[in-house]
Amino acid sequence: MKILELRVRDLGVIEAVDVTPDPASPVVVLTGPNGAGKSTSLTAIEAALAGADALPKEPIRRGAKAAQVDLVLGDAAGPKFRVERKVTAKGAYLKVFDADGRPVASPQAFLDALTKTGLAYDPGSWLRKPPREQAAELLRAGGVDLAPLEARHKALFEERTGVNRDAKALAARLQAMAAVPGVAADSEEVSIGEMAKEMAALQAQREANAAERRKAAEAAAADARAAESAERARVEVVAMEAKLAAMRAKANEANRAAFEAETLASAEAARVAVLVDPDLGPVAEKMAGAEEHNRKVRAAKARSALVRELESKTAEAERLTGALADLDAQRRGLVGGLALGLDGLGLSETGVTFKGLPLEQASQAEQVRISLAVGLRSGELRVVLVRDGAHLDPAGMRLVAEYAAQHGAQVWIERPDTGAPQAGFRIVDGKVEE
């Protein structure tokens, strides 16, 4: 189905435009100076079919009370529907009538079903979209919902980004952590507490020996004092012969005590002579090296754990990369089911590709042909609007005409004046030039 007649009144800069395309021509060319109404004519078609949102910001021509767009849709057999889109100060109104003049219920829903996607109105706008939006619309035009795949892709990509960030941080930490020579990661730390207990026991033994020596010294001192006392007694005996009898007993007692003290002192001296102080050096040396050993053990264990964690993160990143590759393969496979008749069209992670290269690197003619193919994936109404026809050279125009004829489509193209006569409808000052 195509547009058999276009009638526009008081829309934007247009006063009155009537176009009846040649049924034998697949291309309808609108020419004229800038600001004359070419773009507004295409906008009128889009607004009539797609809805009031496509209307200009000020849809009613200044001085007029209302704007109206009428379309007659049909095929080689004749008219099938008439579309009336009217705009007043109060709002926009739509009516659709069948060939017998009967109104069509839910007219906008009916038109949406005829066109299916907005691509039919201006495939050039699809070319101007970001690559990922191009890919999404391409698949939607083919009835493929990319949203679940995109959501999964986004989740996996974000998860892989986080894992790679963790792996990078672990690798940096591992690089900054020197290897610990001579100490395995499974080594055990030595107990400094046990060594401290051993040292305390040895120290206690030394203190006990010192106490014994003090006792021996005290015995020797007692012996000296007793000897001195005996000596004084002897002197007193000589000096005090008169008191000898009275003091004899006392002298004898002092002698006995001196003898006992001497015996005890001799015994203590003999016992102390065999005492040997333990050497604290070996244990002190062991304690000094224990902390360094334990530090190395801890460092080796920490480095081993970091290596294992890095290996785990790296493996996880590789798994996610594989999952993303699987999603990309699924996405590329979706294009094969669209039946666009375009060998070389594909999808990458970033967007649409043609012959393995980003679509934006394809030639201008190839881009136009692809955009037409995408636009013609729409519904029963085989109408395409091209707003950037100025970029089409004669070869590009021939390509558009050939493609439209092969696929039973009608392409409306806006082209500026070139200074030379052009086929089509020339619009000047809001009217079709006679």
Each residue's pLDDT tens digit, 253-263? 878 888 888 88
Confidence class of residue 80 from pLDDT cuts 50, 70 and 90?
Answer: very high
- For the cut 90, the answer to whether the pLDDT of residue 364 exceeds it is no
Q: Which three-class secondary structure state does DSSP give residue 378?
A: coil
- How many C-beta neighbours within 10 Å does residue 257 have? 14
Give the bridge partners for 384, in sequence order.
411
Average pLDDT for 341-347:
70
Domain range list for the chain: 192-295
Per-chain mean pLDDT for the chain: 84
Pick 254 or 305 by higher pLDDT.
305
Question: Where on the phi/psi map is residue 326: left (φ > 0), alpha (ψ -120 to 50), or beta?
Answer: alpha
- For the cut 70, the answer to whether the pLDDT of residue 419 exceeds it is no
Pick 96 or 392 by higher pLDDT.
96
Confidence class of residue 163 from pLDDT cuts 50, 70 and 90?
Answer: very high
- For the cut 90, the answer to whether the pLDDT of residue 11 exceeds it is yes
End-to-end CA distance of the chain: give it in Å, rounded.
27
Which residues make Cβ contacts (< 8 Å) with residue 130, sequence separation at least 6? 351
Spatial distance between the Cα atoms of 381 and 71, rounded to a whole number of angstroms: 12
Average pLDDT for 169-183:
85
pLDDT confidence of residue 117: 55
Spatial distance between the Cα atoms of 417 and 34, rounded to a whole number of angstroms: 8
- For the cut 90, the answer to whether the pLDDT of residue 28 exceeds it is yes
Letter for the amino acid at 398?
A: R
- Contacts of residues 73-78 at CB distance under 8 Å and 24 or more positions apart, as own/partner, are 73/1, 73/2, 73/3, 73/4, 73/114, 73/381, 74/1, 74/2, 74/4, 74/99, 75/1, 75/2, 76/23
90-145 pLDDT, tens per residue? Answer: 999 999 999 999 999 999 999 988 876 555 566 667 777 888 787 777 776 666 66
pTM listed for this prediction? 0.58
The percentage of residues in the chain with a pLDDT greater than 90, rounded to a whole number, is 26
